[in-house]
Each structure stands twice: as C-alpha cells, then as structure tokens.
Amino acid sequence: MRWTRILTAFLVLVVLGAGTASAQTVLRIGLNDDPDALDPTISRAYVGRLVFAAFCDKLFDVTPDLKIVPQLATSYEWAAGGRAVVIKLRPGVKFHDGEPFNAEAVRFNIERHLSTPGSFRKSEIGEIKSVDIVNDLTVRFNLAEPLVPLIAALTDRSGMMISPKAARELGDKFGTRPVCAGPFKFVERVAQGKIVGERFADYWDKANIHFDRIEFVPITDSTARLANLRSGDLQMIERVSPTDLAQVRSDPKLKVVGVAELGYQMLPLNLNNGPRGKVLGADPRLRQAIDLAIDRETIIKTVFANEYIAGNQFVSPVSPYYNAKFPVKRRDVARARQLLREAGQPNLAFTLIVPPERDRQEAALVIQAMLAEAGITMTIQTQENVTMLSAGRKGDFEAYFTFWSGRPDPDGNIFTFTTCNGGQNDSKYCNHDVDAILTKARHEADPAERKRLYDQTTEIMLRDLPRLILWHRRVFTGHTIRLQGFTPHPDGIIRLKGLKLS
C-alpha cells in the first residue's frame, strides 16, 4: 500500500511536470518583409532590427523619449576632450554559446565592424581609431575626432555584441546563425518563412522575459498580416498600414498603438548631380515654389487618414531639435507663382520618380495636382525601388520620392544627406558653412549648443531646399489585447522585456 501511494504520487508529479513543461508560451510577430542576413555588421534592412531585438542586446538602448539607457554597458564617460569614451560593462553577462561578455568581446566586435569588407557600421563608428581594454569590464574607445552621436549609434546595430567564438567559427556565415547575448537564442530560420528563437536561460535580465519561444513571420501583404492577427495566429504585427487602422480599432480583441517615427518621407532634388541638376538646381526659388505649392496637411488627411505628421525639417515636430521658428508653411499658390516668375521659369516642369507602392503613388498624384495649380508640371515616372535608388546615386533624376527610417541622434538624420561628401547626398548639395556647422554639432556635447547649431542648419536648409521633407509617419504596432506591457518606441522596434500574454 505504501509503495502504491509513493508510486501514485510520483506519477502525479511526472504528469504535472510534463504538463507544465509542454505548456510553452510563444509570441508570434508578423513582419512587413523578410530580414536580410542576421549579422549586425552587414545588416542593413530595417526589419532586421526588429529580429535583432530578440537575439542581440546592445551596449545601450533608448527610451521612448530617446534618452540613452544602459543595456550590456552600464555607463559611459567622455574623456580627453571628447576624443575618448570610457564604457563600463555589465558583469555576469553570457553569450548564447556560454562565452563570457567582457571588454575583449567588445573590442572584437568594434574591430569587426570597422574591418569587415562590406560593413555598413563603419560609416557610423568610423571615428573609433582603437579600443583599449582598461580591465575585464571596462573599455576605452579612442576617437580620431570627437563624435557625440557615437553613443546613439551604439544603441543600434553598431552596439550589438556577438560572440567572438561563434564569429570566428562561422566566419561570413555568421548571419545565418547569430549567436549574441539577447533574451532569445536563435533556433532556426526558414527564409521567407519564419525565424525562431527560444528563451535564453542565462539571460542577464531573464526575470523580465515571459515567453519561452518567439517566432517572427514575414507576411508582406498587409491584409494577410492583419488577418493573421485577427485570427490569433499572430499576437503582434509591425507597421500596420494607416488604411487598416479603422479595422483594427473596431475589433475589440485588438489594440493598435502609434508613435511618431524618427525618420521622414522626402523628395531629394537634384541640384548638382550631373546634367539633370540644371532643372531644379538653377535657382533656390524654383524649389521654394514647389515647397509652397504643396499642402502637406491635405495630403495627410486625404491619403493617410490624418494619421501622419506634416513636416519640413530633418526631425519631427515632437523632437527637441525641431526649430519651432520655422513651422510647416501654409500652402501659398500665389507666392509660388511669383517665385517662379522671379526665377524666370513660370512654367517649370520636372520629373518625379516614384516606386510602385500605393502610399507614395497616391501622394504623388495629389502633389502633381497641387503643383499644376501653381503652373508647375510634374511628370510621375514609376520606377522600381532599387532602380530609383541607383538612379539617385548616378544623378539620373530631377526628384525622387523616398524616405529615411531615422536615427535617435539628429546627426543621423542629416549629416550624410547634406554635407558635401555625404554618402547619401544624391542632390550633391554643397555648402561649406553647413559642413562646418554640422561637424561642430558632432563634436559638441552640450545639448543646448547642439540645438543652436541645428537651428542654424534648419534655417539654411529651408532656404536652399536640397530636399523637400514632407511628413513623418507614425509607426503603428497592432497586437492582441491579451498582450500586456508593450511600450512603443519611435524607432518602431518591439522591445520584448515586460511583454506578457494574459
């Protein structure tokens, strides 16, 4: 009898244990598209950053109001007049393969970002000349020139830390099987299918992770993605289309939250990039006329259901670096016509290249009609996105319709687009005064002084208009109401800590 009771108790425990073990909590997130290689050094697709949030912690992170906070690093301190930064690291952190996270690992990662052929991080942290190991948990980055935006860069892929051991073993195949120090360990990837991670038992902040497994599912069609959310096959979807918002809001089982993005939608104008720069580069009044003829608010109301924010500067109106002295101008067709006459081109004509994407195509049509009222003939030329970007590089354009995803530091939203040798300056705008101001702003640690410098820049940009910044989107994330603890961030990245399903 006694043995029977012991056996029964044992069996009950086994059954309970098995039941508990098999009740895995899974979070499934629908992505707008399939990420590229999962290697922070060479990754460039925005959607990859959402996946990295699960696998790869960074040295620092940002709060919803863009304050820098510790993650794998606990603090930083500028030294040597801004030409060095000392970073203290979090103790007790391990990579997914059990290797310790320490100063040597940080040095390895930074050197990897700087030396790997095809690295897209080099332009973000290229000012780092060398990395010194002060002790096992302290590193010192030595810079060629002060670079205040460096810390903000370390809150993204440049600050993501991968296991040196795994990197050496996998070489350039690391992106197929990332090994980092994030809350989830990489399990498998089915290209265009799903990316799966399982909870990392030794995660340094495991108390705040409430899922056993995470699955990222790329579903490019927004209707299908929303249907998956509604059916419960997904618990979250990123970048909900504005035209789907009404449906989500009317569903009592769903919730959608939106936050102003860090980036902007824009029309780079060719000022001096080859012969086609003659059309709009001849006189800033031509560009000012185009700017005045566009009614941003009306476009946002009619095309985007009033969900976006009209913009004219390289940061959104909610940013502390927005220059409030220059708000978005009201449309003024009469003034636009006058500017064109003064510039000697009352019947200005140019071509705008637009990718075959619904939002931008619709907006372009409205812009076309608005410009026509000012006597400007804008021809819309539809080109596939890669072709358009290539044309931009080569100067084979007058204007094209693109966007920038945005960076937490204002430098990331303007420097490479506007400086004479900027890698993204397709307009080939070159103003040495602006170069000097923006370079000074990179070196300036005092936020008030930086604001003053960026205010100066904005004033010049709004006069010279190498780019027309049109609006800032809101990043909408949809989720089941059972999901709690979600706090949206302007970068659109879904942070997994604190998320739980009720």
Partner 1 sequence: MTLPRYIARRLVVLVPTLFFVSVLIFALQQLLPGDAAVALAGEEHDPAAVAAIRQKYHLDRSVPVQYAIWIGRVLRGDLGESMRNKIPVSRLLAAKLPVTVELAACSMVIALLLGIPAGVLAAVKQGRPVAVAANVLALSGLSVPHFWLGIMLILFFAVHLGWLPASGYVSPWENLKGNLATIALPSFVLGTGVGGIMMRHTRGAMVETLGADYVRTARSKSVTERMVVLKHALRNALIPVITLGAIEFGRLLGGAVLTEQIFAIPGFGKMLVDGVFNRDYAVVQGVVLVSAGLYVLLNLAGDVLAFLVNPRLRGPA
Binding site for partner 1 (CB under 8 A): 34-39, 44-46, 117-120, 122-123, 172-173, 175-176, 189-194, 217-221, 223-224, 227-228, 230-233, 383-387, 389-390, 393, 404-405, 416, 423-424
Shortest separation between residue 78's beta carbon and partner 1, angstroms = 25
Give residues with Cβ within 8 angstroms of 190, minimum separation 6: none
d(CA 118, CA 127): 17
d(CA 377, CA 88): 58
Decide if 71 contacts 58 (C-beta within 8 A). Answer: yes
Nearer to partner 1, 203 or 211 (CB): 211
Shortest separation between residue 420's beta carbon and partner 1, angstroms = 14
Shortest separation between residue 406's beta carbon and partner 1, angstroms = 10
d(CA 322, CA 466): 18
Nearer to partner 1, 177 or 500 (CB): 177
Joined together, the tokens standing for residue 89 give 């690291």
Nearer to partner 1, 191 or 369 (CB): 191
Nearer to partner 1, 65 or 221 (CB): 221
Shortest separation between residue 428's beta carbon and partner 1, angstroms = 13
> What are the two backbone dihedrals, phi and then psi, of residue 288, each rounded to the nearest 5 degrees?
-65, -35
Nearer to partner 1, 121 or 140 (CB): 121
Return the DSSP state at 442: H
Joined together, the tokens standing for residue 356 give 């075959």
Give residues with Cβ within 8 angstroms of 193, minimum separation 6: 217, 218
Shortest separation between residue 390's beta carbon and partner 1, angstroms = 4
Shortest separation between residue 410's beta carbon and partner 1, angstroms = 17
Which of 354, 349, 325, 337 has the alpha carbon at shortest distance from 266?
A: 354
Give, in degrees to the nearest 5, the angle at Cα 448 between 446 and 451: 110
Give residues with Cβ within 8 angstroms of 205, minimum separation 6: 183, 497
Shortest separation between residue 353's beta carbon and partner 1, angstroms = 12
Nearer to partner 1, 77 or 357 (CB): 357
Q: How many CA atoms lie within 13 A of 104 on its CB side?
A: 6
Decide if 261 contacts 473 (C-beta within 8 A). Answer: yes
Shortest separation between residue 104's beta carbon and partner 1, angstroms = 26
Shortest separation between residue 193's beta carbon and partner 1, angstroms = 3
In 3-state terms, what secondary structure has residue 385?
helix
Q: Determine the angle formed by the axes of helices 447-464 and 284-293, rounding to 10 degrees.
A: 100
Distance of CA 15 to the CA centre of its chain: 47
d(CA 164, CA 180): 9
Distance of CA 21 to the CA centre of its chain: 37
Nearer to partner 1, 347 or 421 (CB): 421
Nearer to partner 1, 207 or 386 (CB): 386
Which of 49, 415, 410, 363 has the alpha carbon at shortest distance from 262?
A: 410
Nearer to partner 1, 118 or 344 (CB): 118
Joined together, the tokens standing for residue 172 give 């350039």
Shortest separation between residue 281's beta carbon and partner 1, angstroms = 20
Which of 45, 408, 22, 93 has the alpha carbon at shortest distance from 195?
A: 45
Nearer to partner 1, 38 or 293 (CB): 38
Nearer to partner 1, 104 or 212 (CB): 212
Tokens 């990197």, residue located: 167
Shortest separation between residue 413's beta carbon and partner 1, angstroms = 12
DSSP code string of 132-151: EEEETTEEEEEESS--TTHH
